[in-house]
Structure 1
Amino acid sequence: MTATTDRFAGKVAVVTGAASGIGAGITRRLVAEGARVVGGDIAADGLKALGDELGDAFAGVPTDVTVEDQVEHMVHVADKTWGALHVAFNVAGSARLGPVAELAENDWDYTVDLVLKGQFLSAKHEARLMRRDGGGAIVLISSLNAHVPMFGGSPYAAAKAGAEMLTKNAALELARHGIRVNAILPGLVDTPATAGFLAHPQLRADFIGRIPLGRPADTGDIAGPALYLASDDARYITGTSLVVDGGWEITGYPDLSKYL
């Protein structure tokens, strides 16, 4: 999706998970629409490559979103570099999968900490800076799996459901400070994180067969709705979830047990 406006001109944004996939797509779209962006990610090489591409409008900050000091520092860079924070997109996430009866405790902890705790820590420090300056907008990236279970995906689905409710709770608390909080729930998106699924012919066919629009999303399909929720066009929207899945939610998940 190509930017056609300058609606984020003069705005400062934070994007977690910025080095690849949905986070990189959101970052590119923000810069194309006039924003200056601080991107956080554990992938320092990916951040450098994005910085080389986007120039002075982007500042990459190596960040583990499960470590509060690092998250606080990332948000502080936005303030120190450009003096404000207007919008934030919390994208960072990953998963270690396995059936409930077999899943290792550390795999559960890894997934829930990254997918849910990382969202909390990011929103916490973003909101503090926005509150100081009179408002802003935060968009959390949850997942279709907040609503639809996936065989072997209990930690991911549970954490993404938690992120959706965190969105609603944060929206309730922060509205009085002029801060809106909403969530995007993507379905299958063609990113490096899903490359293994999509490279498997039968598994890809099983997924695509459940998506009425007949294809995975690309990152632009997610960036557009995410930026809408952060824009002034959505100024009366807070505490809501926008499912962006090509209609997948209305058909349900394929049985993935044969692949695990």
Structure 2
Amino acid sequence: MTNTSNRFNNKVAIVTGGASGIGLAIVSRLLEEGAKVVAADLNQERLDEMSKELGDSFLGQKVNVTSEGDIEKLVSTTVDHFGGLHVAFNVAGASKPGAIMDLAEEDWDFTVDLCLKGVFLSMKHEARHMLKQGGGAIVNIASLNSHVPMYAGSAYTSAKAGVEMLTRNGALEMARANIRVNAILPGLVESPLTASLVENKEINEAYMERIPFRRAAQPEEMAGPALFLASEDAGYVSGASLLVDGAWNTSGYPDMSRFF
């Protein structure tokens, strides 16, 4: 369904992880609703393709969200190019799984740095500019795994739980600057990052046994809730964690140990 409400007319947005999956869906929805959007991602080739497809209201930037210098440059480039920064969506994330007793230190660092440190650095510099212009809204992508453990997922679940608490801490600290900070907690979403789970019949069946809706979500089903939290419709909402999981939180996580 196309939304033409133009809630984000004259607004400028940053979306990290904006070249695929949930990030791409958020970019597309923002453009539909009138925003100017800067997508940050490591996939330069895809960003270049998007620039050709999406026109003058879009700018792609190659960014490593674990680098503070890259994040500072992203925000300054956004402000220089489009004249401000009103809303930000911190989506970038990935995981290198492994059971705790087997997990390599570098795999822990990769996952936690990308999923948690990347959100911290993004919030820090997004909010610094929003403070100068009188306020804004930040939406972080956490996960159902902020609440529910996952076999071989200790780094990811810990990082995503950290994102949820970082969101709440940001809401507390930034309210006086008129900056709202919220999170959405997706369940299983069909995306390049989850392809190995969705396409493996046995693993997919294990998930479907636990998800009451009996299907994975599409990335577009995350974009709507994310944009709501960034919009004026959520003007008195901050520090919230919105589960978008097909009621999965009611039933618990499948036992994934047999797949490792």
Q: How many aligned residue pairs are there?
A: 260
- 3-state DSSP class of the match of 1:109? helix
**Equivalent-residue separation in structure 1 for 2:48 and 2:210 (angstroms):** 37
Q: One-letter code of the match for 1:116?
A: L
TM-score for the superposition, normalised by structure 2: 0.99
Q: CA deviation at 1:173?
A: 0.4
Structure 1 partner of 2:5:
5
In structure 2, the residue matched to 1:182 is: 182
Describe how 1:196-235 pairs up with structure 2 within 5 A.
Answer: 196-235=196-235
Number of the residue aligned with 1:42: 42
The 5 Å alignment of 1:1-260 reads: 1-260=1-260
Bigger shift: residues 2-11 or 235-244 = 2-11
* Identity within the alignment, %: 55
Deviation >6 Å, runs of 4+: none
* TM-score (norm. length: structure 1): 0.99
- Unaligned runs of at least 5 residues, structure 2: none
- Contact kept, 8 Å, 1:38 with 1:77, in 2: the verdict is no
Q: What is the distance in 1 between the residues matched to 2:11 and 2:49?
A: 22
Does the residue aligned with 1:224 lie in a helix, a strand or coil?
helix
Q: Matched residues in 2 for 1:204 and 1:98: separation?
A: 19
Q: Distance in 1 between matches of 2:237 and 2:21?
A: 26
Q: Which letter does structure 1 place at the counterpart of 2:225?
A: P
Q: Deviations over 1:162-199 (max 9, x none)?
A: 00000000000000001000000000000011111111
Tell me if the contact between 1:142 and 1:161 (Cα under 8 Å) persists in the aligned partners.
yes
- Per the TM alignment, residue 82 of structure 1 is displaced from its structure 2 partner at its CA by 1.1
The one-letter code of the counterpart of 2:174 is L
Amino acid at match of 2:14: V
Shift in Å at residue 69 of structure 1?
0.4
RMSD over aligned CA atoms reads 0.7
Structure 1 contact 51–58 (Cα < 8 Å) conserved: yes
Q: Which moved more, 1:52-61 or 1:62-71?
A: 52-61
**SS in structure 2 opposite 1:209?**
helix
